[in-house]
């Protein structure tokens, strides 16, 4: 049991990084994640954290710096938002392919054009193919907790993969929440020192990243595939260990909220779930059979768990807080992934996609009510007449 304080998602993440005794941090300012770096800079200056605080020249530089640091054997941290996340794109595959378990915190932000500081999950969602562990925190407490868990998962010798610890910009990164900050002793018990199979060490010299011929290509990718798939087991174990040491139990994959006996549920990722939960409570009070399912880990995607969970409901409204123009089914990424996961259930579970909360707008209570109303209609008619709705314009 640690100390309970009110703090933002940014400050909570910074506390996790401090407790993880990170060695190298690379900063670059971009809203809204900057607060994490400012807090870390203060911690370093005040002697609360002993780390090299490297002033990066840009997001591409940030990821390059921590790539080098992790290869040298140090625990490394960086972060970004919006177009910054895109600028560093070149590095995501090399970092995961070289099996360097550094952590990047993404406080999400809508992409240009034009400039818009508002929250949107698009930036981090664009990175989902790169072989990193990835998930969204919906509260400042969870932001702290996933940063600690992700280092533990990523650095596990069976995994050795980098992680995107995501949180909604402003809604989580800036709004205060109550956070139980663990003690250093608890974290030491939970998170062992970082070790890797390959490090830059003159006593054991290795050549990391030599050019290959295509015949080695499939095998290297398959190794990474096995690592990502193998991480599922580790993710579950680590969540158990976390609960034992810190007393907070999270389902590794999905959080179910008031789903007992529900006929229709919302499937959603990140901080907007908190708003959704309020609407679920109110509808429940009115006797409506509704619930909410929050996706906690998107990579690796919990296909089996999503399948088992959603098979209990009649209609699912999948909320996408990101854009993917031209995607199959014309809604968003989560809709296509959910549909892929529950494909075998055929027509039994109806799914409808809702693109919402873009540009930093809240997903309002009104919008959630409309979603549940639409889902109720789908259950009644047994038909999905339109599979995607862009809120607030359609519906």
Partner 1 sequence: MTVPYEKIPFAGTVPSPQKENEGMITGNWRTRRPILDAEKCTSCQLCWISCPDSSINLGSETSSLTFNLKYCKGCGICNEVCPVGAISLVPELDFED
Partner 2 sequence: MLEEIKSIKKAPVEEYYVPGHRTCAGCGPALQYRLVAKAAGPNTIFLGPTGCMYVANTSYACGPWATPWMHTQITNGGAVASGVEAAFKAMIRKHKTDAEFPNIIVMAGDGGTSDIGIQALSAAFYRGHNILFICYDNESYANTGIQASPMTPYGAWTTFTPAGPVVPEGKKLMPKDITKIMAHGHPELKYLATASLSYPIDLMNKVRKGLNANGPAFLYIHAPCPKGWSFPADKTVEIGKLAVETGMIQLYELIDGEYKLTYKPTKYKPITEYIKYQGRFSHLQPEHIEKLQQFANQRLKEVGVEVEAPTITT
Residue among 54, 316, 363, 378 that touches partner 2 (CB under 8 A): 54
Q: Is 3 in the site for partner 2 (CB under 8 A)?
A: no
Q: Are strands 76-80 and 103-107 parallel, antiparallel or unpaired?
A: parallel
How many Å apart are CA 327 and CA 336, to the nearest integer? 8
CB 179 within 8 Å of CB 141? yes
How many Å apart are CA 308 and CA 271, to the nearest integer? 24
Shortest distance, position 130 Cβ to partner 1, whole Å: 15
Q: Is 210 in the site for partner 1 (CB under 8 A)?
A: yes
Q: Which of partner 1, partner 2, none does residue 298 bind to, with CB < 5 to 8 Å depending on kind?
A: none
Q: Is 197 in the site for partner 2 (CB under 8 A)?
A: no
Residue among 47, 215, 287, 347 that touches partner 1 (CB under 8 A): 215
How many Å apart are CA 287 and CA 23, to the nearest integer? 53
Q: How many residues line the site for partner 2 (CB under 8 A)? A: 44
CB 298 within 8 Å of CB 269? yes
Binding mask 223-262 toward partner 1 (x if CB under 8 A, else -) reads x--x------------------------------------
Six-digit token string for 157? 């010798």
Distance of CA 373 to the CA centre of its chain: 29
Q: Is 208 in the site for partner 1 (CB under 8 A)?
A: yes
191 burial via Cβ count (<10 Å: 0-12, 13-18, 19+): buried
Binding mask 279-318 toward partner 1 (x if CB under 8 A, else -) reads ----------------------------------------
Of 94 and 300, the one with the shorter C-beta distance to partner 2 is 94
Residue among 200, 243, 340, 345 that touches partner 2 (CB under 8 A): 200
How many Å apart are CA 170 and CA 162, to the nearest integer? 24
How many Å apart are CA 341 and CA 215, to the nearest integer? 32
The residues that touch partner 2, with contacts defined as CB under 8 A, are 21, 23-24, 26, 50-52, 54-58, 60-61, 64-74, 76, 90-91, 94, 193, 200-203, 205-213, 216
């Amino acid at each position: 049991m640690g100390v309970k304080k009110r703090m933002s998602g940014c400050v909570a993440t910074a506390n996790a990084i401090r407790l993880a005794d990170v060695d190298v941090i690379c900063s670059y300012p971009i809203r809204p994640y900057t607060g994490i770096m400012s807090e870390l800079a203060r911690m370093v200056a005040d002697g609360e954290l002993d780390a090299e605080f490297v002033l990066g020249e840009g997001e591409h530089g940030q990821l390059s710096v921590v790539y080098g640091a992790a290869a040298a054997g140090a625990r490394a941290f960086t972060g970004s938002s919006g177009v910054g996340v895109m600028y560093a794109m070149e590095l995501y595959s090399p970092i995961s392919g070289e099996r360097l378990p550094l952590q990047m915190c993404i406080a999400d932000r809508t992409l240009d054009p034009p400039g818009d500081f508002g929250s949107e999950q698009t930036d981090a969602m664009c990175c989902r193919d790169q072989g990193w562990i990835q998930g969204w925190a919906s509260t400042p407490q969870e932001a702290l907790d996933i940063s600690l868990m992700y280092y533990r998962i990523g650095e596990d010798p069976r995994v050795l993969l980098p992680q995107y610890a995501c949180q909604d910009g402003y809604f989580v990164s800036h709004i205060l929440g109550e956070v139980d900050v663990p003690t250093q002793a608890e974290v030491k018990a939970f998170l062992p020192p970082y070790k890797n199979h390959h490090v830059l060490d003159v006593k054991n010299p290795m050549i990391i990243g030599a050019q290959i011929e295509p015949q080695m290509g499939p095998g290297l990718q398959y190794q990474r595939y096995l690592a990502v798939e193998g991480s599922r087991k580790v993710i579950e174990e680590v969540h158990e260990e976390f609960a034992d040491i810190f007393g907070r139990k999270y389902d590794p994959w999905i959080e179910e909220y008031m789903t007992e006996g529900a006929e229709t549920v919302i499937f959603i990722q990140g901080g907007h779930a908190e708003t959704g939960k309020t609407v679920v409570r109110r509808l429940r009070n009115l006797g409506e059979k509704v619930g909410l399912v929050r996706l906690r880990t998107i990579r690796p995607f919990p296909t089996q768990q999503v399948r088992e969970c959603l098979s209990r409901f009649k209609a699912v409204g999948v909320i996408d807080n990101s854009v993917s123009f031209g995607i199959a089914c014309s809604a968003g990424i989560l809709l296509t992934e959910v549909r892929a996961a529950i494909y075998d259930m055929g027509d039994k579970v109806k799914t409808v996609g809702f693109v919402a909360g873009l540009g930093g707008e809240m997903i309002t209570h009104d919008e959630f009510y409309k979603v549940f109303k639409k889902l109720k209609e789908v259950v009644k008619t047994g038909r999905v007449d339109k599979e995607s709705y862009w809120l607030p314009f359609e519906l």
